[in-house]
């Protein structure tokens, strides 16, 4: 059987490094979680959880049509 060549998008290549420090209780909790749910790749799990959290926050903060916070269109009306 011939293997297919998979083209990879170079813009998705991970080249930026981030470092996280944990205290003893935090790392114990992470290790317990990974053992309980049979997670072998902690880096992938943490990356997915961080990105999911960021995207969720972006979704929550998405501007709405009926915002209560002042913006360019309603800030002058409040000062009259």
49-62 pLDDT per residue, tens: 999 999 999 888 88
Give a yes or no: residue 6 inside a domain: no
Give a yes or no: residue 32 inside a domain: yes
- Compute the CA torsion angle 33, 43, 53, 23 (nearest 10 deg): 60
- Residue 33 is predicted with a pLDDT of 98
pTM: 0.64
Both tokens of 12, joined, read: 């998705």
Q: What residues make up the domain containing 39?
A: 22-60
For 15-53, b where at least 16 C-beta lie within 10 A, e where not — what string? eeeeeeeeeeeeeeeeeeeeeeeeeeeeeeeeeeeeeee
Give a yes or no: residue 11 inside a domain: no
Number of domains making up the chain: 1
Give a yes or no: residue 14 inside a domain: no
């Amino acid at each position: 059987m011939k293997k297919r060549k998979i083209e990879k998008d170079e813009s998705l290549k991970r080249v930026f490094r981030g470092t996280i420090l944990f205290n003893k209780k935090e790392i114990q909790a992470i290790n317990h979680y990974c053992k309980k749910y049979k997670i072998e790749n902690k880096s992938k799990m943490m990356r997915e959880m961080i990105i999911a959290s960021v995207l969720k926050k972006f979704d929550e903060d998405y501007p709405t049509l009926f915002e209560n916070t002042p913006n360019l269109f309603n800030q002058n009306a409040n000062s009259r």
